[in-house]
Chain A
Amino acid sequence: MDDFNSDTDSDYTSYWRDWFISSRGNEYFCEIDEEYLTDRFNLTGLNTEVQYYQYALDLVTDVFDFDCDDDMREQIEKSARHLYGLVHARYIVTTRGLAKMLEKFKKSDFGKCPRVMCESQPLLPMGQSDVPNTSPVKLYCARCEDLYNPKSSRHAVIDGAYFGTSFHNILFQVYPAMLPAKSQRRYEPRVFGFRVHAAAALARWQAEEREKLKERLRGERIETGFEEEDEELEEEEEDEEMEGDGFEGAVVQQ
């Protein structure tokens, strides 16, 4: 689909794309190669998705040459951004696109997992749908395998379809070495030093589920992917737990 060896970027000065990816709020996007954009095959079907498709494409590829009023210009500008996003979703699952996004991932351009136990694991952008205008972009953490909302409101309005539902999973299939070790460490709610019973009972039930998973994987001779030191953490210190509704009395200190 795309040619990894050709480096056409240096032959062109990509004004619009330069401007686009360096604008505030567009930090999650990588730069799509000129060559990828000019290959019609890669744009199949997008002409019906994007208004003023040809003008928008001309703008993105810096060959826009159309005299129009400001309103029209703004419309085309908006279409160009939408077009760029839709092509972006396709581009980032190509060899070259994956490599570019991997570099951004390594630099934590998409932020770090807010979960304390994930210890600042870098995130990847993703969409919960591949259909545009369905839901905004989310961030995927490969350590806890969960989805988070972007911190900044300027990222929270980006269409998730510009990244899609598959990209982040493909990236780890293509670059398995980038998979972080999974951790069993977790937060234990406590009150005056005692574990909270309801949370502790749930955590024990979850731990059983985890052990079942490990057994299934071992049965198939598949790596479990958990941190080694975790295996040693497994035996549990037995201390007392508090019942959930037993606390009115503790609140009378003053």
Chain B
Amino acid sequence: MSSSSQVTESWISSFCGLLGHEYFAEVSEDFIEDDFNLTGLQSQVPMYKEALEMILDVEPEDDEEEEDEDEEDEEDDEILGDERPTGYRRASDRRHLRIASDLSVIESSAELLYGLIHQRYITSRPGIQQMAEKYELQHFGTCPRVYCNSCKVLPVGLNDSPGHETVKLFCPSCLDVYTPPNSRFQTVDGAFFGTTFPSLFFMTFTDLDIGGGVRSNPSSAADALLAIQAANREAKAGNNTTPANVTSINGVAPHNLAPGLGPGNIYEPRIYGFRVSERARSGPRMKWLRMKPADVTELDETRRYWEDRGEDGDRPDDDDLNMVDVADGKAVDRRKKIVGRTRRRANGNAGGSPMDTNGVGAAG
């Protein structure tokens, strides 16, 4: 509260430096100062203005001054510029108005507001880029599942509105979500990361080898041996039959489509070396959860659907139909046509409709 002219750590840096806040990116002031990015948040955050000022390390204005046109203008300057001519001039008058309880309300509002801005920021270009750097540095940890071979994970929310669930971790190798290993993350709201971020991340950085480094860097010789044995079994059983020229299935490169799933990556329960039969009461029931077809082009439902029908009446253009890309004449840039739809949804959902965005649900 004292002189803000001192060079101190910004509110944002100190927030991100707190224990348990390791997953957060530092949202740029530019992003926060663009009103468009804050659309709809005012109604979600108590003491919004004060919270926003706190996040931006701006000295608060007196309430009475709000009607004053000049002051409003100056306030804008203050937020946009480095100079803060009016902000702390009256700091001493204000000090007695801000009692401690008031401050703690503002502090928690600021954290909520920052979290909600953060949810939007990490799906913006600079934000997703910042998260990519944190991902590379393994700030979010790795998948605890043995067959995912320490695949790097990303934070995710199971809900886009705050107060429902704490932050979870999404693994692109098994397409599943996990509770962070350390209990300090169990106070972090999942909505501050949102339901969209991790999937958008892997759609954006399609060149990442998500299972990468794994095969070449097994944790022990024994694991390597197990991997080789699994690969041999796989080869014998003809378990990887995806045509070699397929470069994309449903928009994902085959080697990036859930690399931790499928033959060789499913636990086979045994007792004294003998497999436990699925007909035993305690026999396996969940292998489907970790299965993947040996030939991933089996997952091209659109083509299968039209092929099964045989007739051509309503068949869409081949370009729209093709969910499998092969090396020759690679079909790309289906991008543009989705952009409009996506953006509309992005803004429409900003208010946080849990119905639309809840990432958890029943699958068929």
Chain A residues with a Cβ under 8 A of chain B: 114-117, 128-129, 134-136, 138, 140, 143-149, 151, 165-166, 169-170, 172-173, 176, 179, 182, 184-194, 196-207, 209-210, 213, 216-217, 220, 222-226, 230, 233-237, 242-254
Contact = CB atoms under 8 A, between A and B. Distances in A.
Contacts of A253: 37, 120, 123-125, 343, 346
B200 to A, nearest CB: 5
Nearest to A120: B179
B309 interface: no
B175 A147 contact: no
Given A145-B284, A190-B196, 12 more contacts: A145-B289, A146-B289, A146-B290, A165-B270, A169-B269, A173-B282, A188-B363, A190-B359, A199-B175, A209-B287, A245-B251, A249-B343
Contact of A166 (B272, B279, B293): B272
Contact of A187 (B146, B175, B349): B175
Contacts of B120: 253
B359 A247 contact: no
Contacts of A248: 204, 335, 339
Contacts of B19: none
B252 A198 contact: yes
Contact of B203 (A165, A234, A246): A246
Nearest to B275: A169
B315 interface: no
19 contacts: A116-B360, A129-B222, A173-B282, A186-B176, A187-B158, A187-B170, A188-B361, A189-B359, A194-B345, A199-B199, A202-B299, A203-B175, A204-B363, A205-B298, A234-B364, A244-B250, A246-B334, A247-B200, A254-B37
B233 to A, nearest CB: 15
Interface string B327-347: 000001011111110110110
A186 B250 contact: no
A169 B270 contact: yes
Interface string B294-323: 000011110000000000000000000001
Contacts of B279: 217, 220, 222
A176 to B, nearest CB: 5
Contacts of B196: 190-193
B108 interface: no
B280 interface: yes
Nearest to A223: B281
A135 B252 CA distance: 33
B292 A202 contact: yes
Contact of A249 (B222, B289, B342, B364): B342
B293 A205 contact: yes
A217 B278 contact: yes
A187 B203 contact: no
B271 interface: yes
A251 B146 contact: no
A207 B363 CA distance: 8
A213 B178 contact: no
Give 4 nearest A-B pairs by CB, closest first: A244-B251, A249-B339, A233-B362, A236-B364
Contacts of A176: 281-282
Contacts of A179: 281-282
A169 B278 CA distance: 13
Given A201-B301, A254-B125, A128 B226 contact: yes
Given A116-B158, A198-B257, A202-B292, A247 B128 contact: no
B55 interface: no
A172 B283 CA distance: 9
Contacts of A185: 360-363
A187 B154 CA distance: 14
Interface in B84-127: 120-121, 123-127
B360 A197 contact: no
Of A117, A186, A203, chain B has the most CB atoms within 10 Å of the CB of A186
Contact of A198 (B200, B251, B271, B363): B251
Contact of A169 (B249, B276, B299, B349): B276
B241 to A, nearest CB: 15
B161 interface: no
Contacts of B146: 128, 138, 146-149
B286 interface: yes
B212 interface: no
B15 interface: no
B271 A148 contact: no
A173 B34 CA distance: 61
A237 B127 CA distance: 32
B236 interface: no
Contacts of B287: 145, 209, 213
A244 to B, nearest CB: 2
Contacts of A136: 220
Contacts of B251: 197-198, 243-246
B356 A193 contact: yes
Given A179-B281, A198-B251, A205-B298, A191 B200 contact: yes
A186 B289 contact: yes
Of A147, A148, A182, A202, chain B has the most CB atoms within 10 Å of the CB of A202
